[in-house]
Amino acid sequence: MQEDPSLIFLFSTLIFLLILSGFFSGSETGMMAANKIKLKNLSKKSKGSAKRALNLLKKPDQLLSAILVGNNFANILASAIVTIIMINYFGGNVLIGSIILTIIILIFSEITPKTIAAIKPESVATKSSFILNILVYIFKPLIFFTNFLSRLILKIFSLDAKDANTNDNLNTEELRTLLEESGDLIPKQYRKMLSSVLGMEELIVEDIMIPTAEIIGIDINDDYEKATNIIESTEYTRLPVFQDSIDNMIGILHLKDSHSFLENYEQGNASNFKKILHKTYFVSQSTLLMKQLREFLANNESIGLVVDEYGEIEGLISVEDIFKEITGKFGGDKEELEREFIKLKDGSILTDGNSKIRDLNNYVNWEIPETSSKTVNGLITEYLDQIPQANLCIEIDNYRFEILELDENLISKIKIKKGANAP
């Protein structure tokens, strides 16, 4: 009569198989949930386990096949051992044994290891990579056969296993969510700056350009003193030079050439100072902002006149304007913004008409509507459909605008207050 297998041996084998099943379940979750960027950073720190994990993830079909083969092997063998135990030692009640085994597998071999792996995916992935790498090699013939069959099935549904490698790509909204949820991991000012960069992909040149009416440049009909004052007071490194109006452009003055320009300007040598000027660079108002930045850099230009679809000049944009859009509101220009937007005790803001609505909104977290002109003066002019007058109060979208002073039909001082029902 054949002796029954040792009960201790069977239970020991069963426990080992359950641990093995838990390993496969946890490693599957850890590998699939692991952040590849974090793994790459770990691999740069000479961690071989991270490199192995990355190599395994390059072929997700092979990795999953090895894990599933191993997991199914462990679970099926565990089920067979439970059947032997129940038949030989517990009166053949296989159903009860199967129910108990199912509960044990769910708790200890599925839910618990998967939860641990979900909490620390990179740690689980790196630690399990050595064994998984060996199993992928051992099961290679079987994996080849099963993958061949699975690819045939995937083709029926027009799917490709290689698409699993693209899961790490995040869209703009997902990146914004990550920034918002980063908490103290990223300083507030940097979060705002990064958020501003992400928002720029939706902006076009027209959104941040300086409108024609607000362009500061040199009219060659101006006297020497006025031209000198404009050059000395400008915040830009380049200035447009025109005759009578911006529509009649002559060229662009680089401030490094301002000394020679002014010498010839003072002497009235128009032909000479015109030679100093650089050719005007034109850009389309509908060009995406990031694309325009690339074009500026590619063409070695830093300032351009903005034209509409009919070739009419609508405004001006510079590399400085684009960089300000990224960093100006949240970087080293804080003091400049505080000078531009003076906060009063009643919660209102004192500024001038040339101030950009975008800058004001971002600085005090308001939602004043932006118009085609993008400035406070333009918003009010568009709303009134006429040149504004001093000592005038108007309300736009629950924001109160009180015009205090005018200078040559432009608002030089205005007080803005957010209403109780303003967005």
**Per-residue tokens: 301:** 């230009």
Q: Which helix (H) or strand (E) is 350 found in, with range?
A: strand 349-351
How confident is the model at residue 161, as a pLDDT? 55
- For the chain (423 residues), the mean pLDDT of every run of 10, in chain order, is 65 90 89 81 76 83 83 89 84 82 88 89 87 86 77 74 53 60 62 66 80 82 86 83 86 86 79 81 88 86 86 86 67 66 89 84 83 78 82 87 84 86 68
User: How is residue 418 written in tokens?
Assistant: 């957010």
Write down the pLDDT at residue 309: 83
Q: Do the strands 210-211 and 218-219 form a parallel or antiparallel pair, or are they unpaired?
A: unpaired
The pTM of the full predicted model, rounded to 2 decimals, is 0.48
- Say if CB 120 and CB 52 are below 8 A apart: no
User: Is 251 in contact with 281 (CB distance < 8 Å)?
Assistant: no
How far apart, in whole angstroms, are the C-alpha atoms of residue 146 and residue 68?
11
In 255-404, alpha helices (H): 258-267, 270-276, 289-298, 319-323, 334-340, 357-364, 376-384
Is the Cβ–Cβ distance between 81 and 73 less than 8 Å? no
Q: Give the pLDDT of residue 1.
A: 36
Q: Which domains are delineated in the chain? A: 7-166 (no CATH), 203-323 (3.10.580.10), 334-418 (3.30.465.10)
Secondary element (H or E) of residue 21: helix 7-33
pLDDT of residue 65: 81
